[in-house]
Structure 1
Amino acid sequence: MSYDPIDHDFERGMQNRRHILGDAWVNRSVTNATAFNAEFQNLITRFAWNEIWGRPGLEKKTRRVIVLAITMALGRWEEFELHVRAALLGDADTRLTPDELKEVLMQAAIYAGVPAANTGFTHAQQILREVGVQIGYTLAPLLPANTCHPGIGQEAVTASKPALHYSVRAPRSGKAPRHTVVLSHALGTDMTMWDQLANLLAADCRVITYDHRGHGSSAAPAGLYTIADLADDAARLLRELDSGPVLWIGLSMGGMVGQELALRHPSLVNALIIANTTSCYPEAAREAWQQRINTVRTQGIEAIADAVMGRYFHDQFRAEHSATVTRFRERLTSTDVDGYISCCHAVGSVDTTARLPQIGVATLVIAGELDQGTPVSMSQTLAEKIPQTRLVMLADASHISAIEQPDAFAQAVMQFILTL
């Protein structure tokens, strides 16, 4: 019977320890070990670094985040600094960016307390000053009043009238934006319907969302609107923001506005994604829009709310995601009545079909397999008449496909962006 002289638990632990903390730190610890603490060093190497860090159940980057949060919560600042430094300078699979480190400290502030987070930020900033050059990061000055929630963006209203409420998300990469993207919402919703996609795109794009006139926090001027009015609103917003040509992503009414914007203000659009939309309604549908206007004018939006939800979301989605449907219903019924009626008129009278061949930018048309409001045939018309067009149909999606099938919608968007 042979005896293996190698303590594999220790050796595996030492490999993990070096991988996470770096050779320089571990070498110093080993070199400085004494008869008094060597057994303790052996213990933590075998148990912390092998028994825990050696488990495959979590990625090592996740385990690093856990350690940072716990050491901050407990005020173990020497250990915290060790892992902050290692997180910023470590191997790619365990490294945290300064922004990721900030997010760890922000979340820990809620669960471990603001005083702990205050000290954590102080220690982390000192280390960032020391290693910033190595990782290409500069601690630029920024007034607290000038910050914004990165998942919402910097909100404001246009200086020109009617005032449009909008939000701008800067690319989280900290680099020049890959594209400037505008997300344009559906009738009876607001810019928050795009939150998930907006935050995905903001990884490397500048993302603009806004409330159409008559919706959300934008103004609702008197009089019936046209899609041309809404397109001119969008052009006004983009010029105020000095956006340059944008990738326009619009759903339903937002897709109609995108078509008109590309036709009326072609210099502002370099690509189009139009989803669950149409270039024109047949006469029967136009009459249905007028009936909706009459009902809302006499009975209010509540009278049509359930019917609208039935068109926006298919039966299974409404059964399985009742809270989401309730949220959209509340948004619909709280929309300014006059603004809603005016936008209904714009949507019901849309007519760009004859001019579609004039759209000169790459276009993706997204259709919902189950869409009753703008059936697949309407998307096929768009795809046939716009010269540079691809059509994607999303299975199990009705009218608000970006909410019903967010992953499939996002995948279609991202694949299209790769072609630009």
Structure 2
Amino acid sequence: MDPYDHDLERGMRNRRAILGDAWVDKSVANANAFNADFQNFITRYAWNDVWGRPGLDARTRRIIVLAITCALGRWEEYELHLRAALTGGSGAGLGAGDHADTRLTPDEVKEVLMQAAIYAGVPAANTGVAIATRLLREIGRELPPLPATEAVHPGTGRSRRSQGSPALHYTLREPRSGAPAPHTFVLSHALGCDASLWDELANALAAQHRVICYDHRGHGDSDAPPGPYTMAALAQDAERLLAELQPGPVIWVGLSLGGMVGLELALRHPERLKALVIANSSSGFGHEGRSAWQQRIDAIEHGGLEAVADAAMQRWFSESFRQAQAATVARWRRRVVSTPVAGYLGASHAVMHMDTTARLPQIAVPALVIAGDQDQGTPLAMSQAIAHAVPKARLVVIDGAAHLSVLEQPGAFEAAVRDFIGGV
């Protein structure tokens, strides 16, 4: 019979990878006639039979252990695994090897404890936070002062309003990496939407970049002055916001109305932009298009936003998406009908009369034009016209996407943006 004990050896391998050589060596050296059986048992059944299963990666198993030991108040075990998590397997700081693939960042540990507070109770999480704070200081992590009143939800950013009139509501997400932001993005939403249109993309970009999302006048929490509005006025709103925040040249990402504002801003204030992403948008409407907009305006003036909400959902989302994601469609229908009528009408006038087509060759910044192959609101030909006229533009068509492509195909939308900024 093979004298090599595979279960024990594999368990010891996993134990060393997760806790670090120094910690395991110290534990093994303390084995005696009383606890040796228990060490053997744990090494086989915990470290081989469970930690050796390929169904979850080691980082995920770390998170599970931290959450459970915190919930149960097993603070010695919690501290052991927390220290290993923060140091990537370097045990108790005793010089063991680094296993970066299993390391957790302080922010990831924080999220474990925030979740534990909900499911295991605040007292348990409170103790967990205190132990984590002490360990972070022990291993030399800087913890700069931050008043609790200044903490913001990382998934929504800091909410503010601009100076001047109309005041614009905007959110600011600083890069979660803690490093200087390579780019600042400004995300500009569609007619009848608000800044929450961008939640998923904004949170993805904010891992490394600064992200500003704002509500157009007449939308969301921004002021809603009486209309009609013009595209020049909406672009001037954006210019005032950028002048106030002083982020330097930004990458503008605008969808539909937001894309139209981006084109106007690029023509009027090119110094504000580093690059331009125009999604599901247009540079102008012919006679037939303007007539359709006038009919929509007339319907709202007679019957309110309920009169156009269902038709908007038909344009915004493909049939397959409407069937599969009825709750999402219902949410955005509620957003449309809760938009101030003055704001929706005012912006509709701006869209109806907007025409930047002849001026597009003057745009000098790199541009990405995104279209949805099922977009009825701004058909592919409109995006093709923009991409053809802007000198440094290229076109990406997202399959299976209608008008709100960032909601319908978020992965493809983000991939297109990331590929584009790689060359900016």
The 5 A counterparts of 1:143-162 are 143-162=147-166
- 1:204 aligned partner: 208
Gapped runs of 5+ residues in structure 1?
none
Letter in 2 for 1:110: I
Distance 1:72 1:405 in 2: 38
Q: TM-score, normalised by structure 1?
A: 0.98
Distance 2:107 2:315 in 1: 41
Distance 1:270 1:386 in 2: 15
- 1:101 aligned partner: 109
Distance 1:347 1:159 in 2: 25
Of 292, 298, 305, the residue aligned with 1:288 is: 292
Distance 2:53 2:182 in 1: 38
Distance 1:168 1:250 in 2: 16
Equivalent residues of 2:156, 2:199 under 8 A apart:
yes
Letter in 1 for 2:253: I
Q: Does 1:118 align with 2:126?
A: yes
**DSSP 3-state at the match of 1:52:** coil
Q: Does 1:182 align with 2:157?
A: no
Letter in 1 for 2:376: Q
Of 7, 18, 27, the residue aligned with 2:5 is: 7
Deviations 1:176-233 (A, max 9, x none): 0021001100000101011000000001000000100000010011231011111110
Deviation at 1:362, TM superposition (A): 0.3
- 2:394 aligned partner: 390
Distance 2:210 2:248 in 1: 11
Greater than 6 Å deviation, 4+ residue runs: none
Distance 2:9 2:227 in 1: 77
The 5 A counterparts of 1:220-369 are 220-369=224-373
Gapped runs of 5+ residues in structure 2?
89-98
Q: Does 1:52 align with 2:60?
A: no
Deviation at 1:16, TM superposition (A): 0.4
Q: Does 1:74 align with 2:72?
A: yes
Equivalent residues of 2:227, 2:345 under 8 A apart:
no
Distance 1:396 1:5 in 2: 59
Q: TM-score, normalised by structure 2?
A: 0.97
Deviations 1:281-311 (A, max 9, x none): 0111101111111111121000111111111
Q: Does 1:131 align with 2:139?
A: yes
Deviation at 1:238, TM superposition (A): 1.2
Deviation at 1:93, TM superposition (A): 1.3
- 2:175 aligned partner: 171
Distance 1:36 1:398 in 2: 68
Deviates more, 1:248-257 or 1:394-403: 394-403
Letter in 1 for 2:363: I
Letter in 2 for 1:118: N
Deviations 1:99-136 (A, max 9, x none): 1111111111111100000000000010000002xxxx
Deviations 1:70-89 (A, max 9, x none): 00000010110001110011
Deviations 1:364-388 (A, max 9, x none): 0001111111111111110111000
Of 9, 21, 24, the residue aligned with 2:22 is: 24
Distance 1:108 1:78 in 2: 17
- 2:408 aligned partner: 404
After superposition, the CA RMSD in angstroms is 0.7
Deviations 1:327-346 (A, max 9, x none): 01000000000111000000
Distance 1:396 1:334 in 2: 28
Distance 1:11 1:308 in 2: 63
The alignment of Structure 1 onto Structure 2 pairs a total of residues equal to 414
Letter in 2 for 1:111: Y
Letter in 2 for 1:377: A
Distance 2:399 2:6 in 1: 52
Distance 1:70 1:307 in 2: 49
- 2:92 aligned partner: none
Distance 1:404 1:321 in 2: 9
Deviation at 1:356, TM superposition (A): 0.4
Deviations 1:229-268 (A, max 9, x none): 1111011111111111000000000000000111111111
Distance 2:74 2:124 in 1: 10
- 1:41 aligned partner: 39
- 1:377 aligned partner: 381
